[in-house]
Chain A
């Protein structure tokens, strides 16, 4: 994976974990970039009031309103059966290592024969809902003549993805898995809600970033 993509995924994973969410979304990637990156596009967002603190607060508000689901993934239900999933995860980490647990979770979730039936998300799995934003970032980079997408392209990809409702371009199987995460296909993307709550428009921000990019960041 390309370095900037990998960095974005890691930041998104950290923010998702910090907010106790059970998926990786573009809102986590955006927050992670705002917290750590000095890329020109990120600076433009900060100058328009989209600081890490502001996005963090908006995300907390969306959680309180139920627009962004908090982590469960069957955890409460399993707790009702006397299984503390946090304890299970801690023991598995100690015994097998985080990487092996993540890999096994991934392998199980992608197993081919599961596809014939309804997909069951393991409580340890953390679905990634960033793919479309990263694809848009790659497309934006190619259009600008860059071989690899940079953080600036990824920011444009995140905003571009947020213009469309949740679940856009997801496969039927992908759309079916959204309600399992307590996300509603067709509802506005959390990034859109965050941006608009700050009195900004996605389209306007996107235009500003493109203009900034074309002027060479001056």
Chain B
């Protein structure tokens, strides 16, 4: 963490902001992967939300498409 702060403070704001954007993008992918794995393992939206420190509605709004996608794939497989 000390290294991270030292690196970040010595940077140009443009580089710093671009780094934040890149980091945010990476975090979103990591979150999506872990939420999907949790749902597949039977975790409830409430349990996922608690771990992420957000509300159940917030996590469902963001990742709810996972369930819709699963339903779509299920319907196609059932045809």
Contacts and interface: CB of A to CB of B under 8 A. Distances in A.
Interface of A: 73-75, 77-78, 80-83, 85, 88, 92, 96, 100-101, 104-105, 107-108, 111, 113, 120-125
B29 A81 contact: no
Contacts of A83: 23, 26
Contacts of A121: 25
B22 A80 contact: no
Contact of A78 (B23, B29, B62): B23
A125 B36 contact: no
A83 B1 CA distance: 12
Given A73-B22, A74-B19, A122-B25, A80 B7 contact: yes
Nearest to A102: B29
Interface string B28-69: 111011001100000000000000000000000110010000
B4 to A, nearest CB: 6
B3 A78 contact: no
Majority SS at the chain B contact face: helix
B34 to A, nearest CB: 9
B32 A104 contact: yes
Interface of B: 3-4, 7-8, 11, 15, 18-19, 21-26, 28-30, 32-33, 36-37, 61-62, 65
A88 B30 CA distance: 10
Contacts of B65: 107, 111
A96 to B, nearest CB: 5
B28 A122 contact: yes
A83 B4 CA distance: 9
A123 B26 contact: yes
Nearest to B1: A82
Contact of B36 (A74, A100, A105, A120): A100
Contacts of B23: 74, 78, 81, 83
A122 B30 CA distance: 10
A108 B7 contact: no
13 contacts: A74-B21, A74-B23, A77-B19, A78-B19, A78-B22, A80-B7, A81-B8, A81-B23, A104-B32, A107-B65, A108-B28, A113-B61, A120-B25
Output the residue of A77, A78, A82, A92 with the most chain B CB within 10 A: A77
A81 to B, nearest CB: 6
Given A120-B24, A122-B25, A104 B36 contact: yes
Given A77-B15, A122-B28, 8 more contacts: A74-B18, A74-B22, A78-B22, A88-B26, A104-B33, A111-B62, A113-B61, A121-B25
